Amino acid sequence: MLDLLESRLKEATTEQSHLWYETFFTVLGKEKEEGDTYDLFGSKWFEADWSRLSDTSAGLSGSSAWSPVLPFYHKLSEIYGLNITADYEEAGMDFGGWFSVNKGVITRDVSVSYEEFLWENNEDYAIERFIDDISNGYYSSLNKIMEHKYWNRLSQADKKIAISSFNEYNS
């Protein structure tokens, strides 16, 4: 099934590097149907990056327009009998999440704030951003910093850096 999916993806992205309304149907091997692109596929377009990892697994990632292509992944899983695991994030719209579907059955669908997503997926980067926010004056007091939802996840060294950054900004 992965060979068929791979060939359909290549066919659909020959002229353009991304999938859009009609080419989503090409990849799914279905006739075009009427409906809102967001409802049908989760996004207006999807810049798909396909990589074959082995005979039984592949990676499909990419960028989409303002929302993840979860309905598209769901349809791929149903049609091709795949187990799909995805994570997604959009800082500007303040969301991130995790999605899993196995042969058309959704097994995980969790959406959280972008900040929470960062803290769960990339804690080092989240700490860096938190300290940058402190350094740029986004916090009005040390109490606000220490009341931050994730303050207790910082190491003692990171807490010292955060406090020092606050004091330096406010000096």
The rounded Cα 14 to chain-centroid distance in angstroms is: 25
Whole-angstrom distance between the N-terminal and C-terminal Cα of the chain? 63
* Mean predicted lDDT score pLDDT of the chain: 93
Q: Is the pLDDT of residue 13 over 90?
A: no
Q: In whole angstroms, what separates CA 20 from the centre of its chain?
A: 19
- How many angstroms separate the CA atoms of 95 and 121, rounded? 13
pLDDT for 62-92, tens place per residue?
999 889 999 999 999 999 999 999 999 999 9
Task: Locate 115 and state its tokens.
Answer: 């900040």
pLDDT of residue 134: 97
pTM of structure: 0.85
Q: 113-154: per-residue pLDDT in tens?
A: 999 999 999 999 999 999 999 999 999 999 999 999 999 999
